[in-house]
Every structure is written in C-alpha cells, then in structure tokens.
Amino acid sequence: MSFDTIIINTISSAFFEELIFRGFLFGMLYRFTHLGFLPAVFLGSLLFGIAHLYQSTDTTELAGIFIMTFLGSILFAWIYSEWNFNLWTAIFLHCFMNLYWLIFNVDDTALGGIYANAFRFATIFIAIAGTIIYKQKFNIPMSISRKDWWLK
C-alpha cells in the first residue's frame, strides 16, 4: 500500500465515480425531471455495475460483481438524496468503503468474501440506520418515500 494507491484507488476513484454516477447521471435525472427515485437511479447503477466488470475472471464472479456494485450504487444514490443532495456524504461513504478494502487487503475484486461482506454490510447498516435515526431525531422527513419511487 502506497500513497499513490491510496490517492488513486481510494480517494480519486470514489470522488470521480460519485461525481459522474450520482452527481451527474442520477442527480440530473432525479432532481430535474419528473422521474422517481427508481427509474432515475437505474441508468446510473447499470452503468456503475458495468464499469466494474473488468474485475471479473469468470461468469459467476461477473454476475456477483455486477449485482454488488449495482446495489451499492443504489445505496450511494439514496444517501446522496437523503442528505439533501450533498455529494460529499456519498463520496465519504464510498471512500471509506474503498479505504478499508485497501487497508485490510480484502479482495482483488468488488465481490469480496465472507469477512469483506460482513464489514460491507455493517457499514451499510450503520449508514442507513444513522441516516434514519438522525432524520427522526430532528424531525426531518425522508426525502425518498413511496410517493416518489416511480414519478414525482
């Protein structure tokens, strides 16, 4: 692990992926059209999943990497939306997940093994629970609700 690896694989990849996939693709579709959360997030998540397929070596791994990154993209878009379209929250979460992947040498791909996914799901749980608890504590309504899943 070197300084260059941390900058390139952790910080810049999280920054630019969030800027392009959440800030631009999802952000423009969701904020400035009548599309709801699910249709708006679909295109960016599809492309985000495809962008990570280079990591696979076989068909099963390819499917797993696509599903993991597609769902991760939905999480990052939800975090971005719930924190008042503050892209830094999604960048920080993405950077944090990339950083522990690198520090603990978890896996060479986005799929990961049992321990990697245990930590991944713990991070996801903390991010979701923290967002919900914060909004409930300060009586802030959720930005994404059933009424705007499909259309706004």
Residue 117: what pLDDT?
87
Residue 41: what pLDDT?
98
SS3 58: coil
Residue 64: what pLDDT?
95
**What would the DSSP string read from start to end of 83-112?**
TTT-HHHHHHHHHHHHHHHHHTT--SSSS-
Of 95, 118, 116, nearest in space to 107 by CA: 116
Residue 145: what pLDDT?
94
d(CA 65, CA 80): 22
pTM of the model: 0.94
152 residues of the chain, pLDDT tens digit each? 788 988 998 999 999 999 999 999 999 999 999 999 999 999 999 999 999 999 999 999 999 999 999 999 999 999 999 999 999 999 999 999 999 888 888 788 888 888 888 889 999 999 999 999 999 999 999 999 999 999 98
Structure-token pair, residue 89: 């929250």
Burial of 9 (0-12, 13-18, 19+ CB in 10 A): middle
d(CA 81, CA 86): 8
Instruction: Give rounded-to-5 percent helix, strand, coil for the chain.
Output: 75, 0, 20
Residue 105: what pLDDT?
80
Residue 103: what pLDDT?
85
d(CA 19, CA 40): 15
